[in-house]
């Protein structure tokens, strides 16, 4: 005996309502367990209602489901910390950081304040739109659980492209224009440009590193 | 839950590692059923215990996981992480040593020399 789509929805809702629903992956894992066990019980002439109650109670109800979810979140955080430490040491040990620093210096000495106003205005507008889109996208990414699994390659690729080809150059350019127009202190504007350049490069490199290593070390979608 | 289940909890990670080293990759429900089958239903890993153990082993880097689509849904499989087979073996040896020591305590006659008996 197999479960109907309505029964499958009931199972998924039960799990969804029992968890805090931050990560899709743990919901999927528990759903697979529930469904497999309920199907096995129903083959032994146990009704769906009884089967779902048996499995839910075997798990220990909501308190145990929340404990399972907490263990999953702890694992994610631990993996994230390990990867972050690995990335930070690799980034600074490889002297990769020198490239954005040098580019920052180069960008600083180019006289952007002499560029025509429409060009500057369009760039600033695009920059803010991209930043807003980036923030919205990241929030959505986390809520959908893709934050951990990276199971949507196309979306992820889009995020990389946006950061690499839009946010990095535009943020440098816009910040440069901003500091040129709003501060008379050349040291502050110089440091702002270089640090911002480094920060954006660090973020992009981190995103790439996480994508690559997370895929290798954890979930792969067949 | 019978008494053997509470003893089982302490050895859970070793049992998981052993099963995975034999079978390659397994999913949570499969591991529960396997233990139940091997012990003729005498031992049963509760679901509330298996998943935190699996997550802990994964966070320690001893296990890796991958997901496959089975009957239209995601199924998460666990396997021993590449290069971690040695560590798995040493954990199992540690458990075996512990069981041996426990046996010596529980069965002190084995400590006696044949001439003492």
Whether residue B112 has pLDDT greater than 70 = no
- In 3D space, the residue among A109, A115, A118, A155 whose CA is nearest the CA of residue A133 turns out to be A155
A146 touches chain B (CB under 8 A): no
pLDDT of residue A2: 80
User: Closest to A218 (Cβ–Cβ): which among B29, B51, B65?
Assistant: B65
CB contact under 8 A, B48 and A64: yes
Name the token pair of A165: 């080809």
- Return the axis-axis angle of helices A61-93 and A186-217, rounded to nearest 10°: 120
Query: Chain B: nearest CA to A97, how far in angstroms?
Result: 29
Residues of B in contact with A79 (CB under 8 A): 58-59
Claim: this prediction has a pTM higher than 0.95 = no
Query: Chain A: nearest CA to B106, how far in angstroms?
Result: 32
pLDDT of residue A9: 92
**Which residues of B lie closer than 8 Å to A, measured between beta carbons?**
27-29, 46-48, 51-52, 55-56, 58-59, 61, 64-70, 73-76
Q: Could you give the residue ranges of the DSSP H alpha helices within B11-108?
A: 12-23, 28-38, 47-59, 85-106
Helix (H) or strand (E) holding A51: helix A48-59
Nearest residue of B to residue A215, measured between CA atoms:
B66
**For testing contact with chain B, the best of A18, A26, A32, A40 (most B CBs within 10 A):** A32
Spatial separation of the C-alpha atoms in residues A64 and B106, rounded to whole Å: 34
Spatial separation of the C-alpha atoms in residues B1 and B47, rounded to whole Å: 12
May I ask the CATH class of domain B3-108? mainly alpha
Contact A172, A104 (CB under 8 A): yes
* Long-range pairs of B36-45 with CB within 8 A, sequence gap ≥ 24: B42/B2, B42/B4, B43/B4, B43/B5, B43/B8, B44/B1, B44/B5, B45/B5, B45/B8, B45/B12, B45/B15
Q: Which tens digits make up the pLDDT trace of B101-110?
A: 877 887 766 5
- How does pLDDT run along chain A (222 residues), one tens digit per residue? 688 989 999 999 999 888 886 677 888 899 999 999 999 999 998 999 999 999 999 888 899 999 999 888 888 778 778 878 888 888 888 887 888 778 767 766 666 556 666 666 666 676 667 667 666 666 665 555 444 444 444 455 556 555 655 566 666 666 665 655 555 666 766 777 677 777 777 777 777 676 666 544 444 333
A79 touches chain B (CB under 8 A): yes
pLDDT of residue B30: 93
Sign (positive or negative) of CA dihedral B41, B47, B48, B51 = positive
Chains A, B: CB contacts within 8 A come to 79
Whether residue B1 has pLDDT greater than 50 = no
Q: Which tens digits make up the pLDDT trace of B14-70?
A: 888 889 988 999 999 999 888 777 766 666 677 788 899 899 888 888 888 888 888
Query: Chain B: nearest CA to A132, how far in angstroms?
Result: 32
pLDDT of residue A191: 74
Residues of A in contact with B55 (CB under 8 A): 68, 71-72, 74-75
pLDDT of residue A58: 87
For chain A, what are the domain ranges?
5-67, 95-217
Who wins on pLDDT, B44 or B117? B44
- CA A137, distance to chain mean position in Å, is 9
Sign (positive or negative) of CA dihedral B86, B88, B94, B99 = negative
A75 touches chain B (CB under 8 A): yes
pLDDT of residue A154: 47
Name the token pair of A146: 């893709």
Residues of A in contact with B28 (CB under 8 A): 29, 33
Phi, psi of B11 (to 5 degrees): -105, 10
Q: Under DSSP, is residue B55 helix (H, G, I), strand (E, B) or coil?
A: helix
């Amino acid at each position: 005996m197999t479960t109907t789509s309505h029964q499958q929805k009931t199972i998924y809702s039960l799990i969804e309502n029992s968890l805090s629903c931050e990560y899709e992956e743990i919901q999927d894992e528990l759903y697979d367990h529930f469904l497999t066990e309920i199907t096995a019980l129903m083959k032994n002439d146990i009704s769906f209602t009884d089967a779902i109650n048996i499995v839910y109670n075997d798990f220990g109800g909501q308190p145990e489901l929340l404990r399972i979810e907490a263990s999953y979140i702890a694992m994610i955080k631990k993996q994230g910390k390990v990867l972050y430490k690995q990335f930070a040491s690799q980034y600074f040990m490889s002297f990769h950081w020198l490239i954005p620093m040098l580019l920052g210096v180069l960008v600083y000495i180019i006289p952007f304040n002499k560029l025509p106003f429409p060009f500057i205005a369009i760039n600033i507008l695009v920059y803010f739109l991209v930043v807003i889109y980036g923030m919205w996208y990241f929030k959505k990414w986390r809520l959908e659980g893709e934050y951990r699994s990276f199971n949507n390659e196309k979306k992820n690729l889009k995020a990389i492209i946006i950061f690499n080809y839009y946010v990095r150059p535009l943020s440098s350019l816009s910040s440069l224009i901003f500091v040129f127009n709003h501060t008379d202190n050349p040291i502050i504007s110089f440091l702002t440009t270089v640090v911002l350049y480094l920060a954006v490069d660090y973020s992009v490199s981190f995103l790439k590193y996480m994508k690559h290593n997370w895929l290798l070390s954890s979930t792969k979608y067949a | 839950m019978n008494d053997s289940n509470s003893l089982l909890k302490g050895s859970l990670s070793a049992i998981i590692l052993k099963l995975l080293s034999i079978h390659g990759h397994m999913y949570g429900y499969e591991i529960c059923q396997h233990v139940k089958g091997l012990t003729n239903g005498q031992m049963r890993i509760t679901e509330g215990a298996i998943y935190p153990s699996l997550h802990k082993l994964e966070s320690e880097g001893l296990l890796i996981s991958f997901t496959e689509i089975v009957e239209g849904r995601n199924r998460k499989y666990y396997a021993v992480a590449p290069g971690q087979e040695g560590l798995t073996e040493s954990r199992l040896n540690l458990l075996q040593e512990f069981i041996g020591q426990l046996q010596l305590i529980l069965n002190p006659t084995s400590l006696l020399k044949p001439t003492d008996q």
